[in-house]
């Protein structure tokens, strides 16, 4: 059973507009959430994170929103740039679980069109 | 430069021929982990290690072994590879001093088992 779901395998957005990537989770023990960005032939790189005690975290063009009651988070990129074209993975962690393993979603391929 | 390295980056082998994928990090991280990425399945954790001589199974450990004799190295061993282990493998590390930190990923090893 998938505990972290990214229901959109791909998303196409025009350059300069806002990109919104969505992620849902089912495990209520998750209390820390991360977004990773992955280019072809490279490993994932950390983008932004949010603790469950917050509902928003912002870093430059990237903002992550967390709605705990809905078990939903989203990543907003504004304005979208060509270099943002990549696969984005949502990941979740139970910080008290001891294993520190991240549970990943399947990823969303973001395509920024000129 | 802080990094996680993996070798080899690409490997084609035959069923049953034992192989080892090495992983090394130069950040003095306590935590290391192996993931595999498969189309439509995202990243799944194979094994992880909280520190030297401490390893444990992740979500998909069958067919794999690991060892952690030194802090910097965390090799992934396939004693008898099978075609269903054809995948893209990522090693990751993180520091336990910050439980909510981001994991640093290696560049990936693409393995094909014929």
Mean pLDDT score of chain A, rounded to an integer?
Answer: 93
Please name the residues in contact with A103: beta carbons below 8 A apart, sequence gap of 6 or more. Answer: A3, A4, A27, A30, A91, A92, A93, B45
Q: What is the pLDDT of residue A98?
A: 57
Facing residue for B33 by CB, picked from A6, A44, A101 = A101
Give the tens place of pLDDT for each residue, B1-30: 889 999 999 999 999 999 999 999 999 999
Q: What is the pLDDT of residue A99?
A: 56
Q: Which two tokens stand for residue B11?
A: 């490997």
Residues of A in contact with B107 (CB under 8 A): 41-43
C-alpha dist (Å) from residue B96 to A98, A99, B111:
11, 11, 30
Facing residue for B40 by CB, picked from A32, A36, A106 = A106
Nearest CA to A23 out of A103, A113, A112 is that of A103
Residue of A nearest to B39 (CA): A106
Q: What is the pLDDT of residue A41?
A: 86
Q: What is the pLDDT of residue A96?
A: 67
B61 neighbors B33 (Cβ within 8 angstroms): no
Measured at the alpha carbon of residue A18, what is the angle toward residues B38 and A93, in degrees to the nearest 5? 45
Residue of A nearest to B30 (CA): A100
Facing residue for A49 by CB, picked from B42, B102, B107 = B102
- Say if B108 is an interface residue toward chain A (CB within 8 Å): yes
A109 neighbors A12 (Cβ within 8 angstroms): no
Give the tens place of pLDDT for each residue, A9-19: 999 999 999 99
Please name the residues in contact with A86: beta carbons below 8 A apart, sequence gap of 6 or more. Answer: A37, A38, A39, A109, A110
B86 neighbors B112 (Cβ within 8 angstroms): yes
Q: What is the pLDDT of residue B97?
A: 61
Residues of A in contact with B45 (CB under 8 A): 101-103
Give the tens place of pLDDT for each residue, A18-70: 999 999 999 998 989 999 999 988 999 999 999 999 999 999 999 999 999 99
Q: How far is B60 from chain A (nearest CA, A)?
A: 12
B113 neighbors B14 (Cβ within 8 angstroms): yes
Q: What is the pLDDT of residue B34?
A: 96
Low-confidence stretches of chain B (pLDDT < 70) are 96-101
Residue B57 C-alpha from the chain's centroid: 12
């Amino acid at each position: 059973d998938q505990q972290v779901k990214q229901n959109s395998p791909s998303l196409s957005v025009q350059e300069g507009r806002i990109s919104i990537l969505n992620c849902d989770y089912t495990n209520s023990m998750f209390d820390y959430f991360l977004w990773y960005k992955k280019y072809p032939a490279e490993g994932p790189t950390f983008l932004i994170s949010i603790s469950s005690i917050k509902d928003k975290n912002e870093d430059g063009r990237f903002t992550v929103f967390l709605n705990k009651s809905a078990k939903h988070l989203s990543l907003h990129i504004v304005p979208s740039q060509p270099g943002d074209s990549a696969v984005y993975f949502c990941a979740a962690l139970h910080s008290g679980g001891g294993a520190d393993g991240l549970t990943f979603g399947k990823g969303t391929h973001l395509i920024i069109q000129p | 430069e802080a990094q996680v390295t993996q070798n080899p980056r690409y490997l084609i082998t035959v069923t049953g021929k034992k192989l080892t994928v090495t992983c090394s990090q130069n950040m003095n991280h306590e935590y290391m982990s192996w993931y595999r990425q498969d189309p439509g399945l995202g990243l799944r954790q194979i094994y992880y290690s909280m520190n030297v001589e401490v390893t444990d199974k992740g979500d998909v450990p069958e067919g794999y072994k690991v060892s952690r004799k030194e802090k910097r190295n965390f090799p992934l061993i396939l004693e008898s590879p099978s075609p269903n282990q054809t995948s893209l493998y990522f090693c990751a590390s993180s520091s336990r001093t910050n439980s909510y930190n981001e994991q640093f990923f290696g560049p990936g090893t693409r393995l094909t088992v014929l």
